Amino acid sequence: MSLSSIMDLALWGTIASGGLAFVYVMLNAWRTDARRTRGVLRRARVVRIADLVDGQLACIEGVVEREREGEPLEALVSRRQCIAFDTTVQCFQGKDFTIPARVEVMRRMVPFFVFDGSGRVRIDAAEAALCNRPVARSERFEERILVEGARVRLAGSVSLEPTLAAGERGFRDSALKATMTGTAKYPLLVDVTDR
């Protein structure tokens, strides 16, 4: 083999490995946190609200209903009325402002209900991590919102409590009120479904 053919092979090997590295970086950039969360929610087994078990994590699907007493929120960037919003802002530094110094995530949510035909569950969490399509986006920010009437799939921790029924009924005779929650460390995961 001649020196020129060895150099040609080395050049093609370098180009091929550089191309593979580029594809790897682009695929990882494409797989954002929201896409990963959406993938987890779509693979999770959906439980009917009537079949929820106290103290367990569950994934449900249904339609969002606003609480009558609750006031809707106004999203930070889009200024749209909503039940929950998830706004991510990248703060840049450096001479040409291309290096992200920090990322700030602001999440707000008012309690709401999800109805699936078998029952109704109250959603009351400190934060909700939304992974639906953004309503506002630029190179510096991204905002997702949840509105009343949307069909959602969400995952969180279940809490069942007895309701206070009128009359002389015992604990075993009363119905249970279901609530799904999340925390700042483990937020409620929410995706708007297209169905």
Q: Where are the domains of the chain?
A: 1-30, 34-192
Q: Say if CB 106 and CB 76 are below 8 A apart.
A: yes
* Per-position b or e across 136-171, b if 16+ CB within 10 A of its CB: beeeeebbbbbbeebebbbbbbbbeeeeeeeeeeee
Does residue 131 have a pLDDT over 70? Answer: yes
Write out pLDDT tens, residues 7-29.
666 656 666 665 554 544 444 44
* Mean pLDDT along residues 43-63: 90
Write out pLDDT tens, residues 76-113.
889 999 999 998 888 777 666 666 677 788 888 899 99
Q: Which two tokens stand for residue 99?
A: 């290096």
- Identify the architecture of domain 34-192 in CATH: Beta Barrel (2.40)
Residue 154, strand partner residues: 60, 190
